[in-house]
Amino acid sequence: MNIGIVCYPTFGGSGVVATELGKALAEEGHKVHFISYDQPVRLNVFTNNLFYHEVSVSNYPLFDYPPYELALANKIVEVAKYTKLDVLHVHYAVPHAAAAYMAQQILADENIHLPFITTLHGTDITLVGKDASFEAAISFVINRSDAVTSVSESLKQDTYKYFKRVKRDIEVIPNFICPEDYVFPNSHEMRRKYAGDDEKILMHVSNFRKVKRVEDVLRTFDIVRKKIPARLILIGDGPERSNIEKLCRELDTCSQITSMGKVSEPGSFLSIADLFVLPSETESFGLAALEAMAAGVPVISTNTGGLPEINLQGYSGMLSNVGDVQDMGKNALYILEDEARLGQFKHNAQMQAQKFHIDKILPLYEELYRKVQMKNEK
Ligand code: GMT
């Protein structure tokens, strides 16, 4: 099939999922066309059937806000016509689903039908989309999509809760990993660059937005390092960075923390960690936690949103209420202080990640693409 994928190109779960999905579809022989304003960070391979179409927005002095959505709709029309797209898959509803709907209407005027699927990822529903200034428009385009998927059952329920006008079916297709991408035979040597043999490594990966509560990572680490030799590796960057640095000075933990900044493929770093910490306020899925598990790293997380669907209490890790750093610290020590227990948790984490193997998830998307295409042909 000829598949168009619209996504954010930045370091965020939705862009990562969209890109990995597109790469896997291309490996299956589909022609995949990425449409975005920049090259997605994980789009690092190009084969005969992977294409990238850049959306550029003219910056006329009249515009305080350049009309990205119009430029995107226009680019979708162009790509759909000239590459004969069978289906368009947009990741993150705001504003991608609206641009897809507009493109669909423009193409319909030329007797071209372009079915589009909207995948809801999280903040497009729980933070951004439910904002009163978007809610009516986002409800409308969710209802008009040819199919809608959400990355967890929890996000599906949140969509019905926050968007009362949404009455349609939403199919849950969870995020996925390719386990082979998280196996690094030389991780022992790499580990020695960051920690002594007697030290445990805690890790956190995110885009350092408020919703990630990175300060709770530091507080959890502070509890751990007072009991056992430990180091913390932070991967990512974002608006909370300076608050985090301030807190690490206050807690006097800076010398035990390494900040790696943005890393496009965190797999090799994850493979050296003993414990992953994800204390988010809300998380529709928690792809970063799944990536950690795939690398054999147990997860200390909150129990909000879709996290309990991924991280299983007492098996792949442990879950606490949002903000309860005492409990997170206690849980972290419970896992780390006993080598046999840590080994068991590491093994379980890897087993749990297998449930989200790309080989299980990819056919679900392919089936959905066929379904919307067939509906179109009828
Ligand atoms: O929160 C992020 O890191 C970015 C955001 C995005 O859309 O890029 O992530 C959301 O989508 C991810 C992929 O489906 C999920 O794994 C994240 O849980 C979700 N973030 C939130 O719900 C806060």
Q: Are residues 285 and 143 in the same domain?
A: no
Q: Do 365 and 346 belong to one domain?
A: no
Task: State the residue range of the domain holding 85.
Answer: 2-176+358-377
Read off the CATH number of the domain in which 168 is found: 3.40.50.2000
Residues 168 and 201 in one domain: no
How many CA atoms does the CB half-sphere of 236 hold within 13 Å? 22
Per-residue pLDDT of the chain (378 residues; tens, 9 = 90+): 999 999 999 878 899 999 999 999 999 999 999 999 999 988 887 788 999 999 999 888 888 888 999 999 999 999 999 999 999 999 999 999 999 999 999 999 999 999 999 999 998 888 777 788 899 999 999 999 999 999 999 999 999 999 999 999 999 999 999 988 898 877 888 999 999 999 999 999 999 999 999 999 999 999 999 999 999 999 999 999 999 999 999 999 999 999 999 988 888 899 999 999 999 999 999 999 999 999 999 999 999 999 999 999 999 999 999 999 999 999 999 999 999 999 999 999 999 999 999 999 999 999 999 999 988 676
What residues pair up with 89 in beta bridges, in sequence order?
5, 117
Q: Please check whether residues 241 and 347 belong to one and the same domain.
A: yes
SS (H, E, C) 219-276: HHHHHHHCCCCEEEEEECCCCCHHHHHHHHHHCCCHHHEEEEECCCCCHHHHCCCCEE
Beta strands in the chain (DSSP E): 2-6, 31-36, 50-54, 87-91, 116-120, 147-150, 171-172, 200-205, 230-235, 257-261, 275-278, 299-302, 317-320
Are residues 231 and 297 both part of a single domain?
yes
Distance 280 CA to ligand 1 centre (A): 11
pLDDT, residue 378, reads 60
- Asked whether the bond before 298 is cis by omega within 30 degrees of 0, the reply is no
Instruction: Determine if ligand 1 sits within 6 Å of the CB of residue 320.
Output: no
Report the nearest atom of ligand 1 relative to the CA of 17. Answer: 13
Query: How far does residue 152's CA lie from ligand 1's centre (Å)?
Result: 11
Rounded to 10 degrees, the C-alpha dihedral 335/339/340/344 comes to 50
Q: What does the DSSP assignment read for 319-351?
A: EE-TT-HHHHHHHHHHHHS-HHHHHHHHHHHHH
pLDDT at 97: 97
328 and 363, same structural domain?
no
Residues 248 and 318 reside in one and the same domain: yes
Report the pLDDT value the prediction gives residue 266, as an integer from 0 to 100: 86
Q: Report the distance separating Cα 139 and Cα 166, nearest Å.
A: 6
Pocket flag, ligand 1, residue 122 (CB < 6 Å): yes
Whole-angstrom distance, CA of residue 289 vs CA of residue 299: 6
Predicted pLDDT of residue 48: 87
Q: At what angle do helices 96-108 and 68-83 cross, to 10 degrees?
A: 50
Ligand 1 atom with the shortest distance to the CA of 305:
22
CA of 235 to the centre of ligand 1 (A): 16
Query: Number of folded domains in the chain?
Result: 2
Give 276 Cα–ligand 1 centroid separation in angstroms.
Answer: 17
Q: Are residues 120 and 267 in the same domain?
A: no
Same domain, 165 and 190: no
Give the C-alpha distances (Å, rounded to integers) separating 5 from 86, 88, 101, 125. Answer: 11, 6, 14, 20
User: How far is ligand 1, taken at its centre, from the CA of residue 271, in Å?
Assistant: 22
Q: Return the bridge partners of 6, or none.
A: 35, 90
Tell whether 197 and 301 lie within a shared domain. yes
Q: Record the tokens describing residue 96, joined without a space.
A: 């991608």
Neighbours of 232 (CB within 10 A): 26
CA 177, distance to chain mean position in Å, is 11
- Residue nearest atom 12 in ligand 1 by C-alpha distance: 13
Q: How many helices (H) and strands (E) are present in the chain, helices listed first?
A: 15, 13
pTM value is 0.94
